[in-house]
Every structure is written in structure tokens, then in C-alpha cells.
Amino acid sequence: MHQVEVPVNFNEPLSVLQRIAAMFEYTDLLVQAYLTDDASKRISLIACFVISQFCYLDLAFNKPFNPLLGETYTL
């Protein structure tokens, strides 16, 4: 196993800032759920918000930004 080269970004997880920002990207679904009167539509909007948390699982192995090098993160 010592001869197999693994990319460096596999060892560096997302930063805490990136994880928290990704959690709140689809908060408009919660606002829509709050404003609707239909209970079934409200439940479906909340379910969509919960499911949207899984869309960043493929980014779990990306290199986080380094603010010391002048890199920034925008959402």
C-alpha cells in the first residue's frame, strides 16, 4: 500500500465555515414552509430542506480554503 499515491486533498476535509455555509444555502425552503398554510406542502418543503444537506457529500474530500494565502470562500 505504500506505493499507491493518494492525492493530498483526500486528507483535507471541508472547513467548518464551508460546512455551516452549505447547511444554510437552502434556507429559503424553510421560509416558504413557514409562509404556507397547506400542511402537506409544508412537510414536503421541510423534507426538501433536510435532503438538501446531502448534496455536498461529494465535496467532503476537497481542500479547504486557506485565508493566510489570501484565499476566500463565497457562497
Neighbouring C-beta atoms of residue 58, cutoff 10 Å: 8
CA atoms of 60 and 23, how far apart (whole Å) = 13
Supply the pLDDT for residue 22. Answer: 77
Mean pLDDT within 14-34 = 82
Average per-residue pLDDT in the chain? 75
pLDDT of residue 41: 97
> Within a 10 A sphere around the Cβ of 8, how many other Cβ atoms?
8
Q: Which of 19-23, 27-31, 55-59 has the highest mean pLDDT?
A: 27-31
Neighbour count for residue 14 (Cβ, 10 Å): 19
